[in-house]
A and B are shown apart, each in its own frame.
Chain A
Amino acid sequence: MTNSIENTGSENHNRQPDTNWREYFSFSTDHKVIGVQYMVTTFIFFLIGGLLAMIIRGELLTPESNVVDRSLYNGLFTLHGTVMIFLWIIPFNAGLANYLVPLMIGAKDMAFPVLNAIAFWMIPPAGILLLSSFLVQGGPAQAGWWSYPPISIQNPSGYPINGESIWILSVALLGISSIMGGVNFITTIVWMRAPGMTFFRMPIFVWSVLSAQLLQLFCLPSLTGAIILLFFDLTFGTNFFKPLQDGDPIIYQHLFWFYSHPAVYVMALPAFGIFAEILPAFSRNPLFGYRSVAIASFGIGLVSIFVWVHHMFASATPNWMRILFMVSSMLVAVPTGVKVFAWTATVWNGRLHLLTPMLFALGGVVMFVFGGITGIMLASVPFDIHVNNTYFVVGHFHYIVHNTITMAIFAAIYFWFPKITGRMYAEGWGKIHFFLTFIGANLTFFPMHPLGLQGMLRRVSSYDPQYQGWNIVASLGGFLLGMSTLPFIANMIGSLLLGKEASYNPWHATGLEWKTSSPPPKENFEEIPVVNEPPYNYNDRSLEAPEAAAQE
């Protein structure tokens, strides 16, 4: 890997990678380097989070608690959730957006390159800090990723440095990193667009990043505030959330979900953006209803701020609040539906190329429809009261965060791999990866729905034998899902070393990132492009002969 990049880099300044491999381990301020740093780092955390999940599924293979002890089990699911959300999806999306947004809007870099690098470099130490809690006395935090008090401030180990305090510190650091990213993305998108790149000529991916990052800026402080108060309660003996000393644990739940519900959309919106890039490219159609899809991104962001109480229907939530938040939660379906219908109409009557990114995108959309429908069900108060905190919720949630968002992330990796590395990935291996993932994902997460309907609670380390059948299916699916990353890793490393060289625009796609070399030169473009056509212009004949277009 290192040789090919170094050699070609020195031979051809413009068309070949001109980033020395050492830069990827340095405090580089190039948004592309930072983007790759984010994506590779977070993928390592994804593998760690996945391993934790496989231990969890190993434990749940049998009704008894026999693989790990109960407190370690609690630590495992707490860290699995935390790693996957705060160290995989959110920062991976930040990395992808880091790489793509300046290219897509025709900018040379992000608005604040140094801030950008600082934001990234907070992530590895925060992640290592979090994982180090396996080594402290009493083990990692055991209160679940939402860390509700009073359970989270019980501190069973009795030590001042304990799993929970490390958890709080780590999540706070990751939050600060996200805020830095948010400021940077919003400034970049608002101020640094190329001439002619009006808001309604921006790719949907950029729209979705803008909406997601606005949510980060607006809602994240609520979580940071909540966990700082939690830290005071845990370490300094304050009583913000201690019910027996006149504190109120429910206030924590409100503060927590005020961020953590919108966080779902911080994760999902970029995934929707990815679908909107890939489906038109491989259907050879313009994105149907571009304007409404763009506005729907904002609509989703806006409505999602007013739905947080649906996580608390079974908490001490009064009736009026239950009803109000039931209606607002269901309303999210409207802008989300607009997106789904637009994707479907884009695929309809197209000329479909079922290459790996397209397979991941279509698979993700189909599973998103399923997850969205169960989401509406959960918004319905009477039904939610039955399945709240059961595996039905776990199933729904994973259909969104894994089967939609992680599928979209894989779609994105394959789609932009040629652009980022200058080489093509191996299509056959990509398809194997897709089918293993798609089958594994459904085998793992579908059985959770019947389990939840039957009343199996989440977070249990042992369960009644009546639930074993579906649990075996889910566990075997989970192991398959774990294995499915192996062809992916092999493909990525192999293709980076030996892959065929990629052209400017192997998918004959629209978008400014496809008009510069693969990989793009420093500062992205030979000269700043001028945009004078609508996005997703798949009617453009020149796209059918992209090599010619690239030479222009």
Chain B
Amino acid sequence: MRKIFNSLLLAAFIAAIMIIARWIGHQAYSWMPTQATAEAKRVDDIFSFLTSVGAFIFLGITGIIGYSLLTCRATRGDWSHGHPARSDARIEILWTVIPTLLVLWLAAQSYNIYQQLNIEGLSPIVHLHMLEEPAVAATVKSDINQLAENIEVIAKQWVWSFRYPNNIVSNELHVVVNERTRLNLHSQDVIHGFYIPEFRLKQDIVPNRNIDIVLTPTQTGKYRLRDSQFSGTDFALMQADVYVDSSEAYSQWLSQVAKRK
């Protein structure tokens, strides 16, 4: 009877923490900044999933420890032994096999989402020291022609500048909503990092290497680009405004800047 009661209690405990863990996982979306790219949604999906699994494990373990703290206290000076169990092969195999499967599942999910991000710009990095050849050409994929813009991003201590196709240079980054944009990242001194939290993308910019990232902004608005790799004294100030424009606003802005020039 007692055994059945204990099993029921355990089942109720597991069910309860599963529900709470799922709820926490759902909340995880609200802890993130606005989703401003197609990629952001997928990153938030994997975060929510990892949060659910993590919350389940955390609540499970702390629940057991907390229960023991409440119910298994020794009286002062009573140093007699607790339970004599040293080991149990079945439990030990179980708690090795289950985490292994769990981890492989998490890795598979992450891989899956990573594939969907399709950060194709990173593949050129494999061709490290082939700087004599245009790195982009080495890895052109079929959809490069469909990219709306190819913008050069130049980082140096502690300024960002952006060169647009018609050779216009600005300190603001403008991209067109719902169009895939390829950014060629360059650094003129130390390693910098390209990071816009709302885009969920980050890429170190290593001097003397051609590194591209490709993104598809999905929400118009003004965002902030930050240097994510520590770059020296005024590191914190190395920021730039990023605008996701409609295509009309974008062409308007380009012609404005061209006129000013």
Contact = CB atoms under 8 A, between A and B. Distances in A.
Interaction A to B: yes
A196 interface: no
B17 interface: no
Contact of A352 (B31, B68, B189): B68
Interface string A539-552: 11001101000000
B141 interface: no
Interface string A277-305: 00000011111111110000000000000
Contacts of A107: none
Contact of B81 (A327, A351, A461, A534): A351
A369 interface: yes
B258 interface: no
A309 to B, nearest CB: 13
A344 B61 contact: yes
Contacts of B209: 243, 316
Contacts of B218: none
Nearest to B69: A352
A334 B99 contact: yes
Given A286-B86, A334-B100, A386-B202, A354 B79 contact: no
B32 A389 contact: no
B114 A285 contact: no
Interface stretch (A48-56, A90-98, A436-444, A451-459): A451-459
Interface residues of A, number: 94
A489 interface: no
A225 interface: no
Contact of B197 (A319, A366, A369, A454): A454
B231 to A, nearest CB: 6
Interface stretch (B89-97, B146-154, B167-175, B176-184): B89-97
A460 B236 contact: yes
Contacts of A536: 86
B55 to A, nearest CB: 8
A406 B54 CA distance: 23
Contact of B58 (A154, A288, A373, A459): A373
B77 to A, nearest CB: 9
Contacts of B61: 340-341, 344, 366, 369
Interface residues of B, number: 83
B3 to A, nearest CB: 15
A333 B197 CA distance: 28
B80 A366 contact: no
B62 A380 contact: no
Given A70-B234, A341-B95, A464-B224, A382 B113 contact: yes
A156 interface: yes
Nearest to A247: B208
Contacts of A70: 233-236
Interface in A344-400: 344-345, 347-354, 362, 365-366, 369-370, 373-374, 376-377, 380-383, 385-386, 388-390
A30 B114 CA distance: 55
Interface string B29-43: 001110000000011
Contacts, number: 274
Interface string B70-95: 00111000111111111110011001
Contact of A317 (B43, B96, B125): B125
B50 A377 contact: yes
Interface in B207-230: 207-209, 211, 224, 226-230
B207 A349 contact: no
Given A331-B103, A353-B74, A284 B81 contact: yes
Nearest to B50: A377
8 contacts: A156-B233, A320-B126, A331-B103, A344-B64, A374-B54, A388-B202, A458-B230, A534-B86
The 3 lowest CB-CB distance pairs between A and B, nearest first, are A455-B197, A351-B74, A373-B54
Interface of A: 65, 70-71, 74, 142-144, 148, 150-151, 154, 156, 243-244, 249-250, 283-292, 314-320, 322-323, 326-327, 330-331, 333-334, 337-338, 340-341, 344-345, 347-354, 362, 365-366, 369-370, 373-374, 376-377, 380-383, 385-386, 388-390, 450, 453-455, 457-464, 508, 534, 536, 538-540, 543-544, 546
Given A347-B64, A348-B72, 16 more contacts: A148-B229, A148-B230, A150-B189, A285-B82, A289-B92, A316-B204, A327-B104, A327-B107, A369-B61, A380-B50, A381-B111, A389-B195, A389-B228, A455-B198, A457-B195, A543-B81
